[in-house]
Chain A
Amino acid sequence: GAGVSQSPRYKVAKRGQDVALRCDPISGHVSLFWYQQALGQGPEFLTYFQNEAQLDKSGLPSDRFFAERPEGSVSTLKIQRTQQEDSAVYLCASSRTQTGNYGYTFGSGTRLTVV
């Protein structure tokens, strides 16, 4: 597609519920990133894929967070047993190269609200 597509746009989850957030990167983009943006703050790195390989997951806040990109294109971020502190906008970005020198294209994000 022309841009990075994320779904759903908004998600309200009850505390303790599992959620899955989807990211469709730009076709052919090698690198894919997930970021978490709390209200009024800058995005914070969660995890990074190069094709299907998850090369860095150091930003995942707990073992309740899990991400995958099995075929090197679409990625899913899963959060198990959601907590109120998980409420944030989750942003996905992709890049056509491994070095990032062409920049990164961001999706519109998924706003997760845990009640």
Chain B
Amino acid sequence: AQSVTQLGSHVSVSEGALVLLRCNYSSSVPPYLFWYVQYPNQGLQLLLKYTTGATLVKGINGFEAEFKKSETSFHLTKPSAHMSDAAEYFCAVSEANAGNMLTFGGGTRLMVKP
């Protein structure tokens, strides 16, 4: 069975500082990995995904994530936080033999201080 752990339910950074949101997963087969962002009262918007190929994945809004198989991690980073980045972030994993369903972590709320 696949599972996702997001370390830190709340992360607070200053505007302009580095953003690092942690995600570790467990999967019995090579997974597909995703980061989604959710703004209040909205659905989930895809930030980036890893399926195959290059392990450093660039997404929208300046975010990127690196798939590290040896560490079973897929941490999300952004060099410089902007106020508009304040939202809830979800890491998710899917496996082709698990009906392709997404399994989500518990989420990390990012707060950006001026």
Partner-B contacts on A (CB < 8 A): 4, 6, 31, 33, 35, 40-45, 48, 55-56, 59, 91, 93, 95, 98-101, 103-109, 111
Contact = CB atoms under 8 A, between A and B. Distances in A.
Of B92, B102, B105, B106, most buried by chain A (CB within 10 Å of CB) is B102
Interface of B: 4, 32, 34, 36, 41-46, 49, 51-52, 90, 92, 94, 96, 99-107
A42 B107 contact: yes
Contact of A100 (B32, B42, B106): B32
Of A44, A48, A91, A100, most buried by chain B (CB within 10 Å of CB) is A100
Contacts of B107: 40-42
B106 A99 contact: no
Contacts of B45: 106
22 contacts: A6-B43, A31-B100, A33-B102, A35-B104, A41-B106, A42-B4, A42-B104, A43-B90, A44-B104, A45-B101, A56-B99, A91-B44, A93-B44, A95-B100, A101-B51, A103-B34, A104-B46, A104-B102, A105-B46, A106-B43, A106-B45, A111-B41
